[in-house]
Amino acid sequence: MSWVFILIAALFEIGWIYSLKATAGFTKIIPLLFYACCGLGAAFFLSQGLKHISTGTAYAVWVGIAVAGTNIISMLFLEEPVRVLKLLFVMLIIIGVAGLKVIEQ
């Protein structure tokens, strides 16, 4: 279950970073509320995942999923240019995350 908590925390982290951008410098209230909820959700679920997964591994997996997810969403939906090298490096992050999960078992 801890791995599910880490995944949920990473999804909240992705929402957190996009809502931060949408706040326009903390001037828009609705995105600011979403930002606060996503930040709290990310922290809560990460703390639940840390109960049974080592801190270094949990943090690396959490951040890795969030970084990869943010980049993929940006390329698919926000018209960020798709570059072969960027895709390669995102894949390396995903491979690293998968490797950390495997050795933590």
Span 4-14, pLDDT tens digits:
999 999 999 99
DSSP structure class, residue 105: -
Q: What is the DSSP string of 10-66?
A: HHHHHHHHHHHHHTTTTT-HHHHHHHHHHHHHHHHHHHHHTTTS-HHHHHHHHHHHH
Scan for tokens 């992705």, then name that residue.
Answer: 14
Q: Taking residues 35-63, what's their average pLDDT?
A: 96
pLDDT for 104 beyond 90? no
pLDDT for 64 beyond 80? yes
Which residues touch 40 (CB under 8 Å, ≥6 apart)? none
pLDDT in tens, 68-98: 999 999 999 998 999 999 999 999 999 999 9
Q: Taking residues 6-27, what's their average pLDDT?
A: 95
Distance of CA 62 to the CA centre of its chain: 6
User: In the chain, pLDDT over 90 holds for what percent of residues?
Assistant: 92
pLDDT for 43 beyond 90? yes
pLDDT of 27 reads 95
Q: Where are the domains of the chain?
A: 2-104
